[in-house]
Amino acid sequence: MKRFAALPAWVRWPLYVIVAVLILGFAEGLDNTGRLTEMSTAQSMLRWAVPILLAGLGGLYSERAGVVNIGLEGMMIVGTWMGAWGALKFGPWWGLVAALIGGAIGGLLHALATVTFGVDHIISGVAINILAPGFTRFLSSIVEVPGWSITQSPRVPGVGSATLPVLAGGKIGGWTSPDLLGWIGSKKIFLVSDIADLAKGLVYRASWVTILALLMVPFTGWLLWRTRFGLRVRICGEYPAAGEAQGINVYKYKYVAVIISGALAGLAGAFIAGPDLSGLYLEGQTQGRGFIGLAALIFGNWRPGGVLGAAMLFGYPFGISLRDLDGSASHSLILVSTVGLALVAIQAFRKGRKADSALAVALGALSILWYLLSDSVESVWINIFPYVIVLLVLVFFAQRLRMPAADGQVYRRGEA
């Protein structure tokens, strides 16, 4: 295991993916269902993951600067309204700009309360979450767009999509390129075809907003860990007094980080109101995704790559639920959960954490018993599965998680 952990990340993560797909293939084979590794499942997973990813990245910017942004949900609500209004009034791309501005204003409000006036971060965030639905309802009452009611907008246009040439059959000019992943998937080669189908789902007809969100992951990693700006933001979240001693304007960097946080949450809201998910603004349509984004941030250990992995993991069950009419795929996920708990138990036992190991064994035993005594699962299970994952991560891996040292603390200039 030590040798494996010493491998570079670009080697370890593909191996993780191969093992995960192998487990999925084994589980769906026992239930005679192919939904766990279908291309459509990967597409749905990606669509559900994008708003969680954007919200999680927004939380990353804010918390790396030391400000807890519970208000992501409210900023996302404002983004849904602004995105729909801007798209209907000026066009889809301007809708995204409007959503960014709307979310950024929410971030500015949160920064003003927490950074300048020293309001408790949780109280400020909760206040924004309470204000946002009322504010958007007020805007709906005065908006002058044909067909817009107090709680719902007309259909919202999208920015379009793109397919990666050669791998998924996209076009280069007027020439339709080969579909390499589709060809491999059609050969039904054990494991290889499953990986190809899932990979094609990620690069076939992906929204431009989806592409932008995925590009934000490496960009965020570069910006926060490879630039002077990122170093100063992280100092604000770790030891702001030291940053002040070095001449850094801590207030300024906190403000910028929280405003970026709000802008990304607003963009997430625009995606929810766009055609990839709902296709219209609908009151209450965020459904707590801002909070799930915060959970993805914790799950990902305050790292961009971790946030992406968590968003995909949370989006995967939702993607399955859309097509799992007979409950067979959800039933297979119970077996996948059992295998995951078994691996957790083994790892905990190896590290001497006997209590964690015993708990994982007990949960795994209940999981396999449920699997053996049932033939299908109600859809409610698949909808709560992401939250169960969060609880399990916090129980078994909390000792590995490290939030910024000054995260959530009220900072006053001149105070050590």
pLDDT of residue 369 exceeding 90: yes
Q: Please state, in angstroms and rounded to a whole number, the distance separating the CA atoms of residues 380 and 364.
A: 20
Q: Please state, in angstroms and rounded to a whole number, the distance separating the CA atoms of residues 144 and 101.
A: 20
Q: Is 171 helix (H, G, I), strand (E, B) or coil?
A: strand
CATH number of the domain located at residue range(s) 31-163+205-327+378-400 in this protein: 1.10.3470
Query: Within its chain, how far is the Cα of 62 from the centroid?
Result: 15
Q: Please state, in angstroms and rounded to a whole number, the distance separating the CA atoms of residues 45 and 38.
A: 11
- Burial-class residue 238 by CB neighbours within 10 Å (0-12, 13-18, 19+): middle
Most confident of 5-19, 116-130, 338-352, 372-386: 116-130
Mean pLDDT, to the nearest integer, of 348-355? Answer: 85
User: What pLDDT does 11 receive?
Assistant: 78
Burial letters 307-319, b for 16+ CB under 10 A, else e: bbbbbbbbbbbbb
C-alpha distances out from residue 338 to 42, 240, 282, 289, 361, Å: 22, 44, 37, 26, 9
pLDDT of residue 379 exceeding 70: no
pLDDT band at 295 (very low <50, low <70, confident <90, very high): confident
Q: How many CA atoms lie within 13 A of 123 on its CB side?
A: 8
Q: Tell me if 37 sits within 8 A of 24, measured CB to CB.
A: yes
Q: Tell me if 250 sits within 8 A of 243, measured CB to CB.
A: yes
Residues paired with 172 in a beta bridge: 175
pLDDT band at 135 (very low <50, low <70, confident <90, very high): very high
155-206 pLDDT, tens per residue?
A: 999 998 888 888 888 777 777 888 899 999 888 888 898 899 999 989 898 9
- DSSP 8-state secondary structure symbol assigned to residue 398: G
pLDDT of residue 303 exceeding 80: yes
Mean pLDDT, to the nearest integer, of 341-352? Answer: 86
Q: Tell me if 132 sits within 8 A of 119, measured CB to CB.
A: no
Taking only Cα atoms into account, the Rg of the chain, rounded to an integer number of angstroms, comes to 22
Mean pLDDT, to the nearest integer, of 269-290? Answer: 91
Most confident of 128-132, 194-198, 344-348: 128-132
pLDDT band at 317 (very low <50, low <70, confident <90, very high): confident
Q: What is the pTM of this model?
A: 0.93
pLDDT of residue 153 exceeding 60: yes
Q: Please state, in angstroms and rounded to a whole number, the distance separating the CA atoms of residues 366 and 385.
A: 15
**Antiparallel, parallel or unpaired: β 161-162 and 171-172:** unpaired
Q: Tell me if 382 sits within 8 A of 221, measured CB to CB.
A: no
Q: How many CA atoms lie within 13 A of 343 on its CB side?
A: 13
pLDDT band at 85 (very low <50, low <70, confident <90, very high): very high
C-alpha distances out from residue 200 to 22, 93, 193, 310, Å: 17, 26, 10, 20
Which amino acid makes up residue 338?
T
Q: Tell me if 266 sits within 8 A of 77, measured CB to CB.
A: no
